């Protein structure tokens, strides 16, 4: 069993799907379940993985149909993540049940922030019965991302050390550099870095090499 939220990424552009997968994997509490490049492949992934998928990131234009049309058919939550800027498309996506609409291109940190907000939304609405305050808190988290109070939470001693590294470096760093300098495992470094991104203390972008997966690059905001 895992407490992580499973994400299905639906985009027919492999490079974009890889970018979104890297962002999802960098956010604490999330994991990529599968990728799909069409409506048919989305249905197949949903049939294969069922309840393991909590959230679908949907492109608008797919080879065999519309991501917006697909929203209402999904048995789980969804974000529209596409380049369509027609206001009618946004309204249609919201009517169908999409929880967020992100217009490409967007900063990597924006998707990470929305995912953090979604995680908070799920936590607040995990109770069997909710009052108005919980409803308002959940919807605010979903709309604005990580709550202001989350951003104000004190960083752990390890995260203070990481932030000091960035202040001294005057430039971006990769997770393996942080891991080596702080003396923690790469997985632990990535978890701390993801939390610092979620709370607004760091920003993240992806750097592509000539081969292999893109690397996550972190820096101080501004």
The tokens for 167 are 């202040």
Q: Can you tell me which residue has the tokens 């529209």?
A: 80
Tell me how far apart the terminal alpha carbons of the chain are, to the nearest angstrom: 39
Residue 113 maps to a domain: no
pLDDT tens, 37-67? Answer: 999 999 999 999 999 999 999 999 999 999 9
Domain count, the chain: 3
pLDDT over 50 (residue 145): yes
Residue 114 maps to a domain: no
Nearest to 57 by CA among 115, 9, 106: 9
Question: Within this chain, do residues 123 and 174 fall inside the same structural domain, yes or no?
Answer: no
Question: Within this chain, do residues 87 and 11 fall inside the same structural domain, yes or no?
Answer: yes
Q: In this structure, what CATH number is given to the domain that contains residue 209?
A: 1.10.10.10
Nearest to 133 by CA among 141, 146, 54: 141
pLDDT over 80 (residue 157): yes
Residue 58: which domain range?
5-108
- As a whole number of angstroms, the distance between CA 90 and CA 99 comes to 11
Three-point CA angle 120, 139, 32, nearest 5°: 45
Q: For strand 65-66 and strand 77-82, is the pairing parallel, antiparallel, or unpaired?
A: unpaired
Question: Within this chain, do residues 87 and 127 fall inside the same structural domain, yes or no?
Answer: no
pLDDT tens, 57-112? Answer: 999 999 999 999 999 999 999 999 999 999 999 999 999 999 999 998 887 778 88
pLDDT tens, 180-201? Answer: 999 988 878 887 887 788 777 8
Question: Within this chain, do residues 49 and 104 fall inside the same structural domain, yes or no?
Answer: yes
| Whether the predicted model's global pTM rises above the 0.85 cut | no
Residue 43 maps to a domain: yes
pLDDT at 204: 82
pLDDT over 50 (residue 148): no
Question: Within this chain, do residues 138 and 102 fall inside the same structural domain, yes or no?
Answer: no
Over range 114-140, report the average pLDDT: 90
User: What whole-number percentage of the chain has pLDDT above 70?
Assistant: 90
SS3 of the chain? CCCCEEEEEECCCHHHHHHHHHHHHHCCCEEEEEEECCHHHHHHHHHHHHHHCCEEEECCEECCEEHHHHHCCCCCEEEEEECCCCHHHHHHHHHHCCCEEEECCCCHHHHHHHHHHHHHHHHHCCCCCCCHHHHHHHHHHHHHCCCHHHHHCCCCHHHHHHHHHHHHHCCCEEHHHHHHHHCCCHHHHHHHHHHHHHCCCCEEEEECCCCCCCEEEEECCC
Question: Within this chain, do residues 135 and 164 fall inside the same structural domain, yes or no?
Answer: no
Confidence of residue 214 (pLDDT cuts 50, 70, 90): low
pLDDT at 2: 59
């Amino acid at each position: 069993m895992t407490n992580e939220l499973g994400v299905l990424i639906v985009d027919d552009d492999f490079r974009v799907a890889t970018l979104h997968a890297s962002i999802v994997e960098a956010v604490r509490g999330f994991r990529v379940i599968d990728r799909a490049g069409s409506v048919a492949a989305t249905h197949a992934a949903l049939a294969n993985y069922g309840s393991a998928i909590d959230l679908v990131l949907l492109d608008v234009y797919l080879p065999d149909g519309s991501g917006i049309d697909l929203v209402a058919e999904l048995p789980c939550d969804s974000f529209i993540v596409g380049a369509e800027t027609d206001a009618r498309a946004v309204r249609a996506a919201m009517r169908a049940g999409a929880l967020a609409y992100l217009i490409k291109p967007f900063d990597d940190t924006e998707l990470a922030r929305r995912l953090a907000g979604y995680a908070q939304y799920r936590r607040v609405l995990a109770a069997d019965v909710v009052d108005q305050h919980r409803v308002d808190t959940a919807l605010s988290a979903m709309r604005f991302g990580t709550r202001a109070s989350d951003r104000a939470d004190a960083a752990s001693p390890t995260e203070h050390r990481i932030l000091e590294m960035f202040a001294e470096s005057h430039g971006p760093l990769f997770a393996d550099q942080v891991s080596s300098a702080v003396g923690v495992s790469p997985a632990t470094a990535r978890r701390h870095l993801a939390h610092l991104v979620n709370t607004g203390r760091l920003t993240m972008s992806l750097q592509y090499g000539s081969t292999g997966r893109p690397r996550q690059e972190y820096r101080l905001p501004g």
